[in-house]
């Protein structure tokens, strides 16, 4: 079963625009991680936010976490064609294995 | 340093055959995880090792699936009597462990794409 659900399932934007992806989950967490995946292969870790954190930045990425709403968002600013990929949120509920959502497919048009 | 590596990158087999998939984690990482990803879905957890022992194998779909990590480093995922439904990308990840529970960042390998004909 998948705890996280990303929204939207697919997103198409123009280069230079911002992209926002949302993730909702069901149970309490230790941390939430965002990953990127190109062409259905290896997952690249983007950012980890712990349950006692509300916002985190890394370069053009901004992640927020609202534990009261059990939701997180990933914002990619000034998107580039190279950002085209699938993005997944994954939750650590304390059992150490991550539970992934079904992902958002982002297409950035040049 | 080197990341997580997996071999082979692709494996094509026939229904009923036995396959082994290998994972080399990042040196020094105590925790090792196996996940399976079907087309259009997120990865699903299979099994987690802490050192040499399987600490959580609740994600293994049935007894045809088995994994080992005899020396606490390299791990092998073994699938007996493969079925067409086993076709997927098998992903391995490793991480350090945090004191008091929870996991630090998990670093993933490139995966093995298994196709069962």
pLDDT in tens, A30-42: 899 999 999 767 8
Locate B107 and state its tokens. 């670093």
Which of A97, A100, A102, A103 is the best substitution to test chain B (most B C-beta atoms within 10 A)?
A: A97
Q: How far is CA A82 from CA A16, A36, A62, in A?
A: 12, 11, 17
What is the per-residue pLDDT across A10-63, written as a single tens digit (0 to 9) for each? 999 999 999 999 999 999 998 999 999 997 678 999 999 999 999 999 999 999
Contact A97 B40 (CB under 8 A): no
CB–CB contacts below 8 A, A to B: 77
Cβ–Cβ contacts within 10 Å for residue B33, how many? 27
Bridge partner list, A107: A12
Query: Is A78 at the interface with chain B, CB within 8 A?
Result: no
Residue B96: its pLDDT value, please? Answer: 87
| Shortest Cα distance, chain B CAs vs residue A89, angstroms | 9
Residue A1: its pLDDT value, please? Answer: 45
Residue B97: its pLDDT value, please? Answer: 76
What is the per-residue pLDDT across B8-59, written as a single tens digit (0 to 9) for each? 999 999 999 999 999 999 999 999 999 999 988 999 999 999 999 998 999 9
| Shortest Cα distance, chain A CAs vs residue B80, angstroms | 24
Contact B106 A2 (CB under 8 A): no
Residue A41: its pLDDT value, please? Answer: 72
Contacts of B112 by beta carbon, 8 Å cutoff, 6+ apart: B6, B7, B8, B9, B10, B11, B21, B89, B90
- Cβ under 8 Å to B: A residues 6-65: 30-31, 33, 35, 40-45, 48
Residue A42: its pLDDT value, please? Answer: 83
Check residues B102 and A27 and name the one with the higher pLDDT: A27
Contact A97 B45 (CB under 8 A): yes
Bridge partner list, B76: B22, B68
What is the per-residue pLDDT across B85-95, written as a single tens digit (0 to 9) for each? 999 999 999 99
Q: How confident is the model at residue B101 (pLDDT cuts 50, 70, 90)?
A: low
CA distance A39 to A24: 24
Q: How far is CA B31 from CA A50, A107, B35, in A?
A: 19, 34, 13
Locate B54 and state its tokens. 């399987």
What is the per-residue pLDDT across A82-98, written as a single tens digit (0 to 9) for each? 999 999 999 988 878 89
Question: A34 with A41: CB under 8 angstroms?
Answer: no
Q: Which residues of A touch B59 (CB under 8 A)?
A: 97
């Amino acid at each position: 079963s998948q705890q996280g659900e990303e929204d939207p399932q697919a997103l198409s934007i123009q280069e230079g625009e911002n992209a926002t992806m949302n993730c909702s989950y069901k149970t309490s967490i230790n941390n939430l991680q965002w990953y990127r995946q190109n062409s259905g292969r290896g997952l690249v870790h983007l950012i980890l936010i712990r349950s006692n954190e509300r916002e985190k930045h890394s370069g053009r990425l901004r992640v927020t976490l609202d534990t009261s709403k059990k939701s997180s968002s990933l914002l990619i600013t000034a998107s580039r064609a190279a950002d085209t990929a699938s993005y997944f949120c994954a939750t650590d509920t304390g059992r150490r294995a991550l539970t992934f959502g079904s992902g958002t497919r982002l297409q950035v048009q040049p | 340093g080197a990341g997580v590596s997996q071999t082979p990158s692709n494996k094509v087999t026939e229904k009923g055959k036995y396959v082994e998939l290998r994972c080399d984690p990042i040196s020094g990482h105590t925790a090792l995880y196996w996940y399976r990803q079907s087309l259009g879905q997120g990865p699903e957890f299979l099994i987690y090792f802490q050192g040499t022992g399987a600490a959580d194998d609740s994600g293994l779909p049935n007894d045809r699936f088995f994994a080992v990590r005899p020396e606490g480093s390299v791990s092998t995922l073994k699938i007996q009597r493969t079925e067409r439904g086993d076709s997927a990308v098998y992903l391995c990840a490793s991480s350090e462990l945090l004191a008091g529970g929870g996991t630090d960042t998990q670093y993933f390998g490139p995966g093995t794409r298994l196709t069962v004909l």
